[in-house]
Structure 1
Amino acid sequence: MATCGSDCCSNGSIFDEKSISCDKTTRVLEGCMPLPIPDDVLKEIVPKAKDFALLHGAGMRYRDRYDADKLEFAPFFLLPSAFPKREFERVVKIQPLINILMHRVAHDHEFLESTLKNTVRVDSFTARLWDIYTTVRKEGVTQSVTLGMFRCDYFFSVPCQCAQQVEINTIAASFGALATRIGLLHRYVLGELRRPELLHHLPENGALSGLCGGMVSAWKHYKNPKAVILFVIEDITYNICDQRFHEYEIRRQRPDIHVIRRNLTEISQRGTLTNDKRLIIDGDEVAVVYFRAGYEPGQYHTEAEWEARLTIERSKAIKCPSIQYHLAGTKKVQQELARPGMLKRFLSDSEADHVRQLFTGLYTLDRDEEGDKAVKMALESPERFVLKPQREGGGNNVYGKEIKDVLEKIKDSVEREAFILMDRIRPPIQQNYLIRPHMPVSLAEVVSELGIFGAVIGDDKDILLNEYAGHMLRTKLSSVNEGGVAAGLGALDSVFLFD
């Protein structure tokens, strides 16, 4: 499988060689300032940082103590985390190419059909999405223009010494708003710590304005000044600040645009199509549909929610994402794109070379010789891999010994075709202070995952908008596999660039 090219590898070490671990794959990266922070300084700065987070909207509601009238600050790290400037700039520069790639993949029916034919036989959720896609194709696509707001996630790999892609999210790519808030928080914290000379290492982040600008551009293209933007939301929204700030930014950019919020159940009950396929919700015509839900099976309680999704896809509204963009974001598609030569189906030779350097090893688990070989590799060395189903939203991947347990059960079954196998990326460890509500402050060993946002608007013939739209950083404890922000094992962070 394609791996990082030699031209992106470092000529010199950026690591503290005194801290090389015994497996020679995880090294300690120096942070933005010496740690630990003296106790008296820490005691003063942490309450200030918590207040800044709360007063600037870096908040969440929590499942275990939900109250619609209360917000708590989202877990965050006290200091920005280090990331190589060279690799940050590389993935920022390449994001418009990723936008083009995913746009062309989504509009290549033959590729989607051949890639997902086995997956839809064994994965019921992907099969339902595929049914909607084929239904709309047979009826005739009403709205050819679609809006993509993507987030490409990367780890910096120690063995490769370059950024390697974890996944591409094509639906509900979240944290654009909170990422900008945490960037402001870290600028404040460094100022309070009397380290203003470090501020130029924090890149400006226009994630919120960039993503909302994409929605505003799509709304303009719809050409009805009275139409609204619909946010498709969860039944209960815990990550409320991230969503609301998108609404407020849209209003700031265009005071004449109104945003409405409905879950799939409400859309099924109150949404209709006119004879000319305009989507009407509670009397409002919808210009743009922005999905913040609909990416996991649990959000479709009954057939009514599936009918609501189909109604949206049948409509003239511009979807973010359209059903074909949603399918293009499946793990199986990403694995197929990593096959030698496959990128050249969608990109020029030079463009394909740049994108290929982002990939780590991705392997099919189809029931053929290639899939059998991948199963054998995973059973022999499960610690080297991650087992991925066709799901978004976190908490779905399988790691370590559990890979062996899962594959032993399904290795002779078609069920294995619902997964792909990926090389496990080994990022460097650094230290930072994890700040969580109702928990003591702790200095922890952590690893960071960079998210790069992109926005693209177009149809099967033309691309009307193609932009890098900002970034985010999520950091998690190095001892855990999944680092969910709400669970407190991961937290919001921002980038500290170094040469």
Structure 2
Amino acid sequence: MIYPPALSDEQYASLVSNIKDWQITHGSLLKLVETDEENTVKCHPVGTTLFPTLFPKELFHEAHALQKAYNKLYAAVAEDDEWLLDVLKELFDVDDLASALWEIYQEVKEEGFVQDLTLGIFRSDYMMHVNPIESSHRPELKQVELNTVSCAGGVHTNRVSDMHRHLHRTGAYQPLVSKEAIISSSSLPLNLTLKTISTGLSVAHRGYGRPKSAAMTETCILFIVAADNFNIADERPIEYALWDEEIPSYRVSWGHDILAHTSLTPTRELLYHATSRSVAIEVSVVYFRAGFEIHEYNDIGRMARLQLEKSRAIKSPSILSHLTGFKKVQQALTIPGVLERFVSPDEAVKISRTFAPMYPLDDSLSGKQAKKLVLEPKTARNHVLKPSLEGGGHNVYGEEIVAFLKRTPEELLQSYVLMEKINPPLLDNFMMSSRGLYEGRVISELGIFGVCLWKRVQHGESKRTEMVTELAPSWSLRTKDASVDEMSVVKGYGCFDSPALVDWEVFMSVLEA
């Protein structure tokens, strides 16, 4: 079987034109913020695939089924500060972001916590993996990472999924020569990520309840965003959806604006002082879409995060939940026996199947094994070196790791982990992005959005988590040129996509074609 279908030049030109119109009319755009022109909004389309990419139905459903266990795992880790300290303490001298976040957490802990609820908006990213020794076997899921802060792309992929479904029903994917169709309307899953995220924020807002400060009459959700934000099309629709539910939602830029427009009451309610309002409004939920890069943590940035963390507002994420997204945590969870500290043995087995081998770069036996692997070119090419940084463009791949290790001080390597490269199957697709038009081999990454509200329950010296609400997971799909290592769509490395779910027989026959 051959996929994507062969289209005539006329069909192909019409498809591209229809996609461009869809992107303009549905906000599949990135804002160009560096412009001096008034009364003009400059933007360019977000990268997208022309066709949905084939994906095994069984693996798609497996990833969804796993998310409940991953929610439970990361909620439990986020409440275990002793374990997190043991995992992250070696980072504090070499990773400024880790030390800044931990120092803020310690200061809040000393004053005492006034909010036991936390909202998790997670995205667990997977790639299909084919064992290079047994390449005829079916691919399996391997986790790339689990993101716990500012999980982006949900709205963009929602729009692209809707676009692919529309193009299919209009016949845009129908080849001139009638053949057995590989995809159908039922093979294109509905994407509800925008609704999932906005509903999660709504649930947390209602979980906060009525204003706690006697002087307040209503509450709001506060979006913490980057100044000069180019990715508003992935954020604003969430805000608009909340307003449609009569939930006031406001945006405040990271840093000085937080200190200028918020304040704490003596009992630590967070008040938002909007320029458009004559009176303050109490904040129920703080939703971070900024605050995950070290340059944001100057003196002002630290004061701003501290003020938010000290408050009674529900955080998404809390500062400990933020720290669970560090690569060192992901690596530590792969150590045999660790998962059972947080989840049941059955859940631990299911989760561990998705782990690729990971190693620290320290003086432990595992660390020494890692250094041996990357100093040998033959084995180095099968690995990737990962720092605890968000977004694409930071990893070091294959034989480049050797040169990187030689020029990097030994103590700085503590912040990196070594991961065995995932070996994904290669499919075909067309892509439109800031890099231009592309036709050829592609690799996809499936992201599963998990949204849950949990409560910290204290029993003497011990703590546990109690799930208050857990929503059905949603998904994203990102696809890139197979020759490119990185995946970040907004940085031009890949495109948003949607899966065409097929049975194993169809998927394997396309791979072998």
TM-score > 0.5 by shorter chain: yes
Report if the CA contact (8 A) 1:230-1:262 is conserved.
no
- The equivalent position to 2:23 in structure 1, one of 39, 46, 53, is 53
Give the letter aligned to residue 271 of structure 1.
Answer: T
How many residues matched?
A: 465
Match of 2:193 in 1: 207
Matched, 1:288 2:285: yes
Match of 2:257 in 1: 266
Matched, 1:101 2:105: no
Match of 2:11 in 1: 41
Moved more, 399-408 or 61-70: 61-70
Q: Distance in 1 between matches of 2:415 and 2:444?
A: 28
Q: Distance in 2 between matches of 1:71 and 1:201?
A: 32
Q: 5 Å matches for 1:129-278?
A: 129-159=101-131, 161-192=139-170, 193=172, 195=174, 198-224=184-210, 226-252=218-244, 254-278=245-269
- The equivalent position to 2:493 in structure 1, one of 475, 486, 489, is 489
Q: Distance in 2 between matches of 1:65 and 1:273?
A: 36
Match of 2:177 in 1: none
Moved more, 313-322 or 428-437: 428-437
Give the letter aligned to residue 209 of structure 1.
Answer: K
Match of 2:412 in 1: 415
Give the letter aligned to residue 236 of structure 1.
Answer: D
Report if the CA contact (8 A) 1:295-1:393 is conserved.
no
Q: CA deviation at 1:170?
A: 0.1
Q: Distance in 2 between matches of 1:209 and 1:145?
A: 21
Matched, 1:76 2:48: yes
Q: CA deviation at 1:105?
A: 0.4
> Deviations for 1:399-434, whole angstroms, at most 9, x for unmatched residues?
1232111212347x2211111111110111122111
> Deviations for 1:348-377, whole angstroms, at most 9, x for unmatched residues?
111111111111111111222321111111
Q: Distance in 2 between matches of 1:440 and 1:475?
A: 15
Identity fraction in percent: 35
Moved more, 322-331 or 131-140: 131-140
> Deviations for 1:236-259, whole angstroms, at most 9, x for unmatched residues?
11111110111122223x124333
Q: Distance in 1 between matches of 2:491 and 2:96?
A: 27
Q: Distance in 2 between matches of 1:366 and 1:442?
A: 41
Unaligned runs of 5+ in 2: 132-137, 175-180, 212-217, 274-279, 458-465, 504-513
Report if the CA contact (8 A) 2:5-2:173 is conserved.
no
TM-score (structure 2 length as normaliser): 0.87
Q: Distance in 2 between matches of 1:185 and 1:420?
A: 38
| SS of corresponding position for 1:468 | coil
> Deviations for 1:413-469, whole angstroms, at most 9, x for unmatched residues?
2211111111110111122111136x7533132110000000111122321012333
Report if the CA contact (8 A) 1:228-1:260 is conserved.
no
Unaligned runs of 5+ in 1: 1-15, 17-29
Q: Distance in 1 between matches of 2:432 and 2:115?
A: 45
Moved over 6 A (4+): 63-68
Q: CA deviation at 1:49?
A: 1.1
Q: Distance in 1 between matches of 2:189 and 2:250?
A: 30
| SS of corresponding position for 1:441 | strand
| SS of corresponding position for 2:308 | helix
Report if the CA contact (8 A) 2:148-2:321 is conserved.
yes
Report if the CA contact (8 A) 1:232-1:264 is conserved.
no
Matched, 1:331 2:303: no
Q: CA deviation at 1:136?
A: 1.2
Match of 1:364 in 2: 360
Give the letter aligned to residue 200 of structure 1.
Answer: S
- The equivalent position to 1:120 in structure 2, one of 88, 92, 102, is 92
RMSD: 1.9
| SS of corresponding position for 1:325 | helix
TM-score (structure 1 length as normaliser): 0.89
Report if the CA contact (8 A) 2:32-2:42 is conserved.
no
> Deviations for 1:91-130, whole angstroms, at most 9, x for unmatched residues?
1011011000000001012210111111122211111111
Give the letter aligned to residue 388 of structure 2.
Answer: Q
Report if the CA contact (8 A) 1:62-1:486 is conserved.
no
| SS of corresponding position for 2:452 | strand
> Deviations for 1:291-346, whole angstroms, at most 9, x for unmatched residues?
0011111233x301111001100000100000010011111011000001110111
> Deviations for 1:158-193, whole angstroms, at most 9, x for unmatched residues?
217201000000000011111111011001222332
Match of 1:396 in 2: 394
